[in-house]
Amino acid sequence: MHRFDSVKLPNLLAAVTLLLIFWFTRLPALDALPLHNDEGLHLTRAVQVWNGKPFWEIRDGKIINHWVIAALYPQPTPAFIGRIATLFVTLIGAAAGYALVRREFGRAPAITAAAVWIFTPYLFFYERLAFSDAEAGALAVAAALSALRLARTAAIRDALLTGLMLGLAILFKFTAAPYALSVALIVLLLSRAPLRRRVILLGVSAGVVAALFIVPVAYLLLRGSSLFDIALGWISSGGSSGAQLGAVGNAARFVTLLWEFDGAVWLALITGGVVALALYRPPRGLILLAAALIPAALMIVLAREVLPRHFAAALPLLIILSVGALHARARRASFGVMDAMVIGVLLLSTIGFMRAAVVDPSSMPLPESVRAEHITEHSAGYGLREAVLAFPQTVPMDVPIVGSMFPDGCRRANFYAVDGREMICTDAPGADQMRELLNSHDVIYVLTDTAPLIGIDWAAYPEFHAEQAAVYPRPGVTDVILWRVTRSAS
């Protein structure tokens, strides 16, 4: 009992306090930012789970991330439920991160490392969205914690747990697959068990991962679908359309994001921490550093183009290990005034960002690439959300509404529909659907996004007479426009 009071209770109180801070910094106004296009895709898949299709469209390597959303029943409040599902999963990673640093470096380094995680603007931003990258990164931290325990115990039960956590991380998104190398590195080089035993333990973990993939792989094969061709196309030189930055461009984006998103404070902490980790208890520190750097390095080298959100799968482990090592290098065994001052500086550096996320997300000081994706361009939900919420006031009851935009964007916008006022989703521009509807209706309404690039160009379809009914600006240069459409008199 004395041991629990003097050792375990302070650790428990510190962990619970940090997790509560993590939760309540991310929870307020969780649905303030309109749904991103990919968030709508994940919500659509979650609804399909309720329709008896748990593996609907999983070729992009995001296999079960939508199950958590489905378990929380997203239909009444989709934006909030989709995002709080991410918060639940990343909370697991934050707890695992604290435990990992505490066991490796001590309680004071664990508190500081957890605080850096909590107040890093990059992680704060992506952990409040219904994306799978932050979820995969959080579960990868849990896999690393399990691998370190496995290296220490060499027990089969820990090999099973390590395989389970690694498999779940990869099932959430394939960007966590490089952590398989991290786990192998930890077990092979940090365990004192005989080499044969280490190989057996890794084989057990690999067997668990393989077992977790049996059902989704069988599903794709039975349907005659290719095996995760969209996900694999992300690392190939050909395949899907779009930019191909290559290793140099990806590396430049990574550094730019760290600088523009998180600023000098976080970049200095991580850089100093990487050096401290390399010097920590040679060669253990170098092994841990390699395990933390492998996922980001492979993304940068192998990916066609790493989007800003993809690094959320790689940064958490790197942040907690580097900051934990930096604190341990200072040789302070207990949490003190200097630690509190560092955390205070982090909080002051982030408080404005966090406040903007709650009060006015469009004013967040985001890197230009992130701002374009989430605020100003068609992948963002501004304009669409406002238009769909206004349908009861702008569109008469029982009049069809066509979404002249990409189908995923239309379905995403429909999550804001009230009173059954959902758009009919079709491939842009949707002229064939409009002609069919006008055969049975005198008038229809059409909501266009980024016309004429995506939405219909009325000048190219003289058979339609379109009158502008409402305009919904987004913070960028394009507007979402609602049109009242009839057949042209001519």
* pLDDT at residue 303 in the model: 86
Closest by Cα among 314, 490, 470, 268 to 386: 470
* pLDDT at residue 335 in the model: 62
Cα gap 7→253, rounded to integer Å: 43
Domain boundary among 369, 392, 417: 369
For 198-213, how does the pLDDT look when each residue is reduced to its tens digit (9 = 90+)? 999 999 999 999 999 9
In a domain, 130, yes or no: yes
Asked if pLDDT for residue 171 goes beyond 70, the answer is: yes
Q: Are residues 202 and 271 in the same domain?
A: yes
Q: Are residues 110 and 170 in the same domain?
A: yes
In a domain, 444, yes or no: yes
Cα gap 406→191, rounded to integer Å: 51
In a domain, 123, yes or no: yes
Q: Are residues 217 and 91 in the same domain?
A: yes
Q: Are residues 353 and 401 in the same domain?
A: no
Q: Are residues 126 and 213 in the same domain?
A: yes
pTM attached to this predicted model: 0.93
* pLDDT at residue 333 in the model: 53
Q: Are residues 257 and 398 in the same domain?
A: no
Q: Are residues 173 and 36 in the same domain?
A: yes
* pLDDT at residue 241 in the model: 40
Helices 263-279/337-359 angle, 10° precision: 140
Q: Between 267 and 385, where is the model more confident?
A: 385
In a domain, 195, yes or no: yes
Domain boundary among 320, 339, 369: 369
In a domain, 280, yes or no: yes
Asked if pLDDT for residue 7 goes beyond 60, the answer is: no
Asked if pLDDT for residue 225 goes beyond 90, the answer is: no
Q: Determine which helix (DSSP H) or strand (DSSP E) holds 401, and give its type and residue range.
A: strand 401-404
Q: How many domains does the chain have?
A: 2
Cα gap 44→406, rounded to integer Å: 14
* pLDDT at residue 477 in the model: 75
Q: Between 292 and 246, where is the model more confident?
A: 292
For 39-92, how does the pLDDT look when each residue is reduced to its tens digit (9 = 90+)? 999 999 999 999 999 999 899 999 999 999 999 999 999 999 999 999 999 999
Q: Are residues 300 and 393 in the same domain?
A: no
Domain boundary among 338, 369, 400: 369
Over residues 162-188, mean pLDDT = 97
In a domain, 379, yes or no: no
Cβ(91)–Cβ(252) below 8 Å: no
Q: Which domain holds residue 392?
A: 384-487
Region of residue 440 (left: phi > 0; alpha: psi -120 to 50; beta: else): alpha
Q: Are residues 279 and 317 in the same domain?
A: yes
* pLDDT at residue 3 in the model: 46
* pLDDT at residue 136 in the model: 98
Asked if pLDDT for residue 336 goes beyond 80, the answer is: no
In a domain, 345, yes or no: yes
In a domain, 223, yes or no: yes
Q: Are residues 281 and 137 in the same domain?
A: yes
Q: If you ran DSSP here, which 8-state letter would residue 262 be given?
A: I
Q: Are residues 360 and 401 in the same domain?
A: no
Cβ(226)–Cβ(234) below 8 Å: no
Q: Are residues 162 and 229 in the same domain?
A: yes
